[in-house]
Amino acid sequence: MKVVIAGGGTGGHLFPGIAIAQEFRKRDSSAQILFIGTEKGIESRVIPHEGFEIKYIVSEGFKGRGVVKKIRSISKIPAGIFHAMRILNNFNPDIVIGVGGYVSGPVGIASVVLGYFTAIQEQNLVPGVTNRILGRFADIIFTSFEESGKFFNGRRVYCTGNPVRQEIAEISRPTIVASPKSQISNFKFTLLVFGGSQGAHRINLAMVEGLKFLAEIRDSLFIVHQTGERDFGLVQSAYAERGFHGEVSPFINDMADAYRRADLVICRAGATTLSELTSCGKASVLIPFPFAVNNHQTMNAMMLKEHGASEVIIEKNLNGEILADTILSLIRDRTRLLKLGRESKKMGRPYAVSEIVEHCYRLFKFKMSSWAQIDAEIT
């Protein structure tokens, strides 16, 4: 089977695509997978590292940009569609899967125009503009939430959950054990901090400020912190100056290992991040990005909080002391921490990607049987 996966720009759009690609390869090692992205997106660094082929088109984001940049983005759409058509015709895929991000638009349009079977994978509760438009023409649509189906006007919609990379889906056991309240163990408690593939400046600053309030547990704490490129030096210096042990890096390639070691996760509330957290049952403190399209991160975070699967700090309330107090309260109350992890695990759908790929194979078999019937009628 020949599969094109289009999307990227951010990890939230890219990593579900990688999960889908891994599942195709798991089922059939001879499956041919091609990613389509842009040279400026995270996909240009991550996809070669994952061992998949990638081709690039010209495309830029539209949402949340100034007038001049919006005009520039729109002007590049025809070229992006043309590049995508050329790539698709050369590869001749059996199915094209859009996983979101500004690359999905031109590739999806090209796929529909050329008559390839087209699928959409929507991560968020409220679909973005690109997927709402493509959803009118796609052959099949995969959503993470039942409520998302209403945006696609009765098309062939399956609520599968959000795909999670295989190595993360396989993480299942909690890394902590219950202990009495107000008692901090001698072993290293591992805190994982990240703000998405490009980091989160506000979270980085709050964590740096919060170190002085965490001084009492410094010797029993180990911090794994993904900072993004911009704040790497600042955060690394702060940990060194205050004597905290940990691993500080601009980008974590092996997120499965980071999740596996984590006892508590401090992060944003993007749909893909939450799918990963719930898949491996991790307790978390969520700090939703306040400017996300359709405010979807806040809605995502509150949904987990309502299920007792996470603590939430709204960014306007975020500072070092509040963040440190939240961390300390959870470290001191291991029973509560374990409960967050258990409730998180209940919400996880680690087999979402298997359902998506199964539906793709069914679509492929239907296409092949239809062609065989047409050939039989002709002959």
Instruction: Label each residue of the chain as H, E or C.
Output: CEEEEECCCCHHHHHHHHHHHHHHHHHCCCCEEEEEECCCCCHHHHHHHHCCEEEECCCCCCCCCCHHHHHHHHHCHHHHHHHHHHHHHHHCCCEEEECCCCCHHHHHHHHHHHCCCEEEEECCCCCCHHHHHHCCCCCEEEECCHHHHHHHCCCCEEECCCCCCHHHHCCCCCCCCCCCCCCCCCCCEEEEEECCCCCCHHHHHHHHHHHHHCHHHHHHEEEEEECCCCCHHHHHHHHHHHCCEEEEECCCCCHHHHHHHCCEEEECCCHHHHHHHHHCCCCEEECCCCCCHHHHHHHHHHHHHHCCCCEECCHHHCCHHHHHHHHHHHHHCHHHHHHHHHHHHHHCCCCHHHHHHHHHHHHHHHHHHHHHHHHHHHC
CATH number reported for the structural domain that contains residue 135 in this entry: 3.40.50.2000
| Predicted pLDDT at 181 | 38
pLDDT tens profile 71-92: 666 767 888 899 999 999 999 9
Give the burial string for 345-375 (b: 16+ CB within 10 Å, else e): bebbbbbbbbbbbebbbebbeeeeeeeeeee
Q: Which of the listed ranges 5-9, 287-291, 365-369 does the model predict with the highest average pLDDT?
A: 287-291
pLDDT class for 65, splitting at 50, 70, 90? low
Do residues 108 and 216 both lie within one domain?
no
Average pLDDT, the chain: 88
Do residues 331 and 358 both lie within one domain?
no
Do residues 327 and 354 both lie within one domain?
no
Do residues 46 and 150 both lie within one domain?
yes
pLDDT tens profile 120-174: 999 887 888 788 888 889 999 999 888 888 888 767 899 999 999 888 988 865 5
Q: Is residue 284 scored above 50 in pLDDT? A: yes
Do residues 158 and 173 both lie within one domain?
no
| Predicted pLDDT at 72 | 67
State the residue range of the domain holding 205: 168-347
Do residues 335 and 266 both lie within one domain?
yes
Q: Is residue 269 scored above 80 in pLDDT? A: yes
pLDDT class for 256, splitting at 50, 70, 90? very high
pLDDT tens profile 233-253: 999 999 999 999 999 999 998
Whole-structure pTM value: 0.79
Contact 259, 276 (CB under 8 A): yes
Contact 141, 150 (CB under 8 A): no
Do residues 225 and 206 both lie within one domain?
yes
Q: Is residue 178 scored above 60 in pLDDT? A: no
| Predicted pLDDT at 268 | 95
Do residues 116 and 45 both lie within one domain?
yes
pLDDT class for 61, splitting at 50, 70, 90? low
Give the burial string for 30-57 (b: 16+ CB within 10 Å, else e): ebbbbbbbbeebbbeebbeebebebbbb
Residue 66: both structure tokens together: 């100034």
Q: Is residue 258 scored above 50 in pLDDT? A: yes
Do residues 241 and 263 both lie within one domain?
yes
Mean pLDDT of 225-229: 94
